[in-house]
Structure 1
Amino acid sequence: MKTRIFLTLLLCCLFGWTAAAQQFEHDTIDTSAGPVEITFIGHATLMLTFADQTIHIDPWTYLADYSHLPKADLILITHEHRDHLDTKAVDALRTPDTEVVLTEVCAEQVSGGMVMHNGDVKQAKGLKIEAVPAYNNVHMRSPGVPYHPKGRGNGYVLTFGDKKIYIGGDTENIAEMKDLKEIAVAFLPMNLPYTMTPAMVADAARMFKPEILYPYHYGQTDTSELVELLKEDQEIEVRIRKMNL
């Protein structure tokens, strides 16, 4: 009897894990150094798998049970807001060999990480990582106080072989995006009042023309509006995945 109960519980656990795994969408990006698999966990939370390494970006326990996901070789944290910096998720994913890349403010909550400031270029786990600006200049928490002040948060550009993947973080269509070059894949946030409208995302994409654009962190925003805005921009492929809550 006890054996039967144990087997039933085991099957339930396995079935539950399978169901959980299936709820996340996946895409694969081919590069000269091998494929990058993107797992779309939701909101601003991503998981990338490349060359037997797992990279977690802004992991958030609200969206996933990290006890059922691979441990992190690398964790990237864009800024300190609770839907991007979740210390519980970081602790669940971290091993003695995990490298954490984060901002100076985030380092006040997560020890032992590698701090990057806007403009820094460093190596982690054999990958080139560029920290780029991510901030508001239109949407304000109160007069003169942006939701994301300049210089406080990071976007990241990761290089995988011949392909660059840009993680925007919480940002608007800022002038510095014109400096982004040869971006294969871009993730741009699209929700008000914190980041961008679809028109702002379209404007941002036209600044640096990524081959593939994923809107993310988009909440209840109508993604079809972005698709419509960029339908004439044939060099930019807009892909919609489940990146709301």
Structure 2
Amino acid sequence: MHLTHYGHACVLVDTGSARLLFDPGAFSTGFETLDGLDAILVTHQHFDHVDADALRTLLRANPDAALVTDGQTAGQLDGVDARTAAPGDVLALGGAEVSVVGSGDHAQIHPDIPLVANNGYLVDGALLHPGDAYVPPGVDELATLLLPTGAPWLKVSEAVDYLRSVAPRTVVPIHEGTLADPALHYRFFDDLGPDATTLLVPDRETAVDV
């Protein structure tokens, strides 16, 4: 499985039988000219996870790609056809099996801010993009966790505890666009994460094996 990080929450996953792009949002760049996609998956409606104009450009370049979102996000994307999904669904996308996981809700930012829907996506039982929530992957052993690193809804101790609870073989930090010094947080993951977990920080827009 190959992974390319385009910054923040946007990640391209190539399983060898499917090319899946996650969360093409406003804090990410370099994904706009991708083609050959089997699916574009959006975890939730926030602008750092879906840029509607960039999404339309992607869909024009990838007319056969499925767009998968939660129902709330689909309702906000005018003129775009989306396949809606919710936790418990299992999707066949290209040659990949994608399970939708989580509670269905975004992590709480503040009690005065209403929760929005959030989908986590588990690819072939091996790679988890949780969106903006620390959700259990639903498998006993996870190969790769894409770990949200910095956001208004989290603190580093919560990220470390989630990493410990999932204990993946490899952790790839994402959702770092709000941080002035992401490497400071990465060091906590390396120092405090499970002994059997390898921290992998890919160069931006560079494919790596996971």
CA distance in 1, matches of 2:10, 2:36: 15
1:83 maps to what in 2?
A: 48
1:118 alignment partner, SS class: coil
> Residue 191 of structure 2: which of 228, 237, 240 is its match?
228
> Residue 72 of structure 2: which of 105, 111, 119 is its match?
105
CA distance in 1, matches of 2:38, 2:137: 31
User: Residue 6 of structure 2 contacts residue 31 of structure 2 at CA under 8 Å; is this kept in 1?
Assistant: no
The answer to whether 1:185 aligns with 2:126 is no
User: Residue 199 of structure 1 contacts residue 229 of structure 1 at CA under 8 Å; is this kept in 2?
Assistant: no
Change (3 A) 1:203 1:145: same
1:59 alignment partner, SS class: coil
CA distance in 1, matches of 2:112, 2:30: 38
CA distance in 1, matches of 2:6, 2:137: 28
1:145 alignment partner, SS class: coil
| Structure with more relative contact order (C-alpha pairs < 8 Å, separation 6 or more) | 2
How many percent of aligned residue pairs carry the same amino acid? 24
Amino acid aligned to 2:70 = T
Q: Over aligned residue pairs, what C-alpha RMSD do you find?
A: 2.3
CA distance in 1, matches of 2:26, 2:174: 17
2:129 maps to what in 1?
A: 167
User: Residue 178 of structure 1 contacts residue 207 of structure 1 at CA under 8 Å; is this kept in 2?
Assistant: no
Question: How many residues are matched?
Answer: 193
User: Residue 87 of structure 1 contacts residue 109 of structure 1 at CA under 8 Å; is this kept in 2?
Assistant: no
2:207 maps to what in 1?
A: none
The one-character-per-residue Cα deviations of 1:203-222 (angstroms, maximum 9, x if unpaired) are 11222211101121123242
CA distance in 1, matches of 2:64, 2:151: 37
2:198 maps to what in 1?
A: 237
Which structure has the bigger radius of gyration? 1
CA distance in 2, matches of 1:66, 1:213: 22
Deviation at 1:186, TM superposition (A): 0.5
Deviation at 1:144, TM superposition (A): 4.7
CA distance in 1, matches of 2:90, 2:120: 12
User: Residue 127 of structure 2 contacts residue 143 of structure 2 at CA under 8 Å; is this kept in 1?
Assistant: yes
Change (3 A) 1:60 1:136: closer
Amino acid aligned to 2:107 = N
1:75 alignment partner, SS class: strand
Where does structure 2 lack aligned partners over 5 or more consecutive residues? Answer: 205-210
TM-score by length of 1: 0.70
